[in-house]
Copies of this chain bind each other. A is one copy, B any other.
Amino acid sequence: MTIRYPNGKKYVADTKAAAMKQTPLRDSYSNRGMTLEEDLNETNTFYLERGLAVIHKKPTPVQIVQVDYPRRSAAVIKEAYFKQASTTDYNGVYRGKYVDFEAKETRNATSFPLKNFHKHQIAHMENVEKQEGISFVIIRFTLTEEIFYLPASRLFDFWNRMENGGRKSITKAEIESSGFSIPTGLHPRIPYLSVIDKLYF
């Protein structure tokens, strides 16, 4: 059953996504059927516990309409709607610097569709870049379990190409040459700070 935002966009709940992506027979040691979000949560917890960075996923934005109080001790939200996020999903601090990113995965083998982003998010990333924040996207090709760090500045190039009538996706070859491969591991699973170290420190 497909859940949709009021604007018609599909919503996939975290647990649903986890269930859908569960492929028990995968043989990769680093990713036993975990979603990108779960892997990033594990990574961020790893960084937090070791005092390396403080990066969190933001809560899903929800418009609350009705709240009931069946008992004094537990308010129940009885009517609410998903809102489209106006920013990216992850942000925080690493060595004094502001870090901000969005994470997306695709089952497409050869390219990454730009419809995975919406205009507000691109505008937000542009604002972050202007404030000298570290802005990027993490892209996972689920079929091959390859993960890339693509700097926001390069994403803007591809986004603008689309806006000017060009292709609506980024080819995998383009991501390979414009971005940085993140080798996945066990702890942390997606060591993206290593790319930030290389680029900024």
1/0 per residue, CB under 8 A from B, across A1-37: the answer is 1111110100101000000000000000000000000
In the bound complex, CA of A62 to CA of B59 (Å): 7
Assuming the contacts A64-B60, A73-B6, A80-B80, asked whether A96 and B131 have C-beta atoms less than 8 A apart, the reply is: yes
Which of B11, B59, B75 is the one whose CB lies under 8 Å from A11?
A: B75
For chain A, the count of residues having a C-beta within 8 Å of the partner chain is: 53
A74 touches B6 (CB 8 A): yes
Chain B residue with Cβ nearest A83: B59
9 A-B pairs with the lowest CB-CB distances in the bound complex, closest first: A96-B132, A93-B98, A93-B133, A77-B80, A3-B75, A59-B61, A98-B98, A93-B131, A59-B59
